[in-house]
Structure formats: structure tokens, C-alpha cells
Amino acid sequence: MQISSLFDGRSTVSFEFYPPKTDMARTALLETIDHLAPIGPDFVSMTYGAGGSTRTVSIDAAAQISKRTPAAVMSHLTGVCHTRDEIAAIADQLWSLGIQNLMALRGDLPQDSEVSDPFASFRYSKDLIPFLKSVHPFCIGSGCYPEGHLETPDIQVGIEHLKEKVDAGCDFLVTQMFLSNKSYFDFVDRTTAAGIAVPILPGIMPVTGFSQLEKFESKFGVKLPKELWDRVKEHGDDKVAIEQIGVEWAAEQCKELLDAGAPGIHFYTLNKSLATIRVCDLLNLKGRSVQ
């Protein structure tokens, strides 16, 4: 099933996972997928390590997930440190496994890379997207940044680059996590004005701890709403209270987004199920049917 066929006027729900590095982590991931199954996600996605560092485990995990859920499966794929032949071989392998959806990204450079020009084959995702579509008729998503990318903090410049990706054949977009819906709504208005017409799925990650909230800002450039910051800070090291605040905040975000017509919600799960399940419970999302 191709994800683009799911945007038929109803709201989608999707979950993102990262590749497990140990047998124990693999077992925990499969248990998480089973716990989330009653929600009836429309699709799930599997990330890809910097420079293809998790290539084999990412593909294996995506294949395992596709056998475990009726939801569509999307595998992330990055162009950095890969030749065109390598990308074609990976695309062939994924297609043979029945995976018809890819998240095409430029990718981050691994810290220990010794490649002289890691972006020689695919400097940007806009270069990767048409190449992948020439190999097989994949449905292709890509990322976007409502509050600006750390490398491109000017949002308007980012939107110009985004338009190039969409024109290159990107079928839908998924945002980086954000904590203020105003960022998403303003971003959608600006992308619409720029002529970008593909669905833009808001990415949501429930806050589960104080240190995590601090990393949102320092590592990803996510703006922290003062109200949320004050509520979390008030509870100090009380992890249970902070997680409850995070779940309620995420649920309120999702409700407002869906009520306003967002095409769906994409949950960043961190390979855990509890917080995401609690958000979905508050939204009465359990028991959704997968087409």
C-alpha cells in the first residue's frame, strides 16, 4: 500500500521507530509495535542511521514490521556516503520486500566518516527523490522544519528548498517535532503561498522528562512554549508528573491540529509505546480501521 493513497479526506495516524541495536532492543521494539497495534496506525516508519550506519538492521527491522502489521511501512533512506549504485541496490531490496514507501533525506554525516565527498552522488534530497522514482514507482515522503533547520534557520529559504523537493517528486511531508501549533499553522500558510500542495503531516513527540525537553531546544532547535516550560519546571524531578503534563500537552496539540484540518498525526515514539498510547487514548483513537 502506498501512503499517498491514504490521504483521502480522513486523518491518518502513523508511528516512527528507530532501528534496534541489540537482540533485547529488537524484542522490545516488536513488543512496542504489538502494544500500538490496537490503535490501527495507517503507516509506520523506520529510520536510517547517519551515513547508512544502520543500513542492514534498518532494512531487516522494516521487513519484520511489514510482516507484523497490516499498516503500510515506510523505510527512511539517506543519500549521504552512498553511491548511486548502492542506493539503487537498496531500493531494489526494499521493493522486493514489498516496501513501496520511502522517506528520502539528505542525511547526516557520521562523525567518523573518511569519505572525501560524502555528498558527491546526492547532495540534497531533491537529487535523491527523482533517482529513487526512476528505480521503482515508490511513494516518497520527506522532512520539513516549521521552526527552521539548524543549518537553514531562515524559514523562507527553507520553504524555497522545500518547494524544490516537492517539484522533484516528493508526495508528502512530515514535520520535525514542534510544541507550539502556531509554528505548524504559520508554516502551512507559508508553504501554501509558495505553491506547495502536498500533505504536510505534523510530527508530535510527547514530553516525558525535563532533560528531554531541554534537548528539544538545544539539539533540534524546537521552540519551548513558556507555559509548558513553567509547568514542567515546577515539578522538578517528578518524572510521573512531567510525563502526565507531556501527554496532556501532546493530546491538546493533536486535537487542535486535527480539528483545524491537519491531514494526520505522525508520532515520534522513541521505540516506546506508553506515552503514545496515553495520547491516543485521550483522543479516542483506539480501534481505528486500517484500509
Q: How does pLDDT run across 120-166, given as a tens digit for each residue?
A: 678 889 999 999 999 999 999 999 999 998 888 889 999 999 999 99
Cα–Cα distance list, 75 to 43, 49, 105, 265 (Å)? 11, 12, 11, 18
Using CA atoms, how far apart are residues 152 and 129, in angstroms rounded to an integer?
20
CATH of the domain at 142: 3.20.20.220
Using CA atoms, how far apart are residues 264 and 204, in angstroms rounded to an integer?
11
Q: Is residue 250 part of a domain?
A: yes
| Average per-residue pLDDT for the chain | 91
pLDDT at 115: 57
Q: Is residue 290 part of a domain?
A: no
Chain length of the chain: 291
252 has a pLDDT exceeding 80: yes
By percentage, how much of the chain surpasses pLDDT 90? 74
Q: Among 181, 231, 183, 186, which Cα is nearest to 207's? A: 231
Q: Is residue 291 part of a domain?
A: no
Annotation says 256 is catalytic: no
Query: 157: number of CA atoms within 13 Å, CB side?
Result: 7
Using CA atoms, how far apart are residues 55 and 88, in angstroms rounded to an integer?
13
Residue reference for cell 490521504: 7
Q: How many independent structural domains does the chain possess?
A: 1
Q: Is residue 214 part of a domain?
A: yes
Q: How does pLDDT run across 159-175, given as a tens digit for each residue?
A: 999 999 999 999 999 99
Domain region containing 166: 3-282
Query: Residue 40 in contact with residue 52, Cβ under 8 Å?
Result: no
18: exposed, middle or buried (C-beta count within 10 Å: 0-12, 13-18, 19+)?
A: buried
Catalytic residue among 16, 86, 147, 217: 16
Q: Is residue 189 part of a domain?
A: yes
Q: Is residue 289 part of a domain?
A: no
Indicate the DSSP class of residue 202.
E
For strand 101-105 and strand 264-268, is the pairing parallel, antiparallel, or unpaired?
A: unpaired
pLDDT at 290: 41
Q: Is 59 helix (H, G, I), strand (E, B) or coil?
A: helix
Q: How does pLDDT run across 183-226, given as a tens digit for each residue?
A: 999 999 999 999 999 999 999 999 998 888 888 888 888 999 99
Using CA atoms, how far apart are residues 45 and 32, in angstroms rounded to an integer?
13
Confirm whether pTM is higher than 0.85: yes
* The three three-digit cell numbers of residue 174, written as one number: 512530515
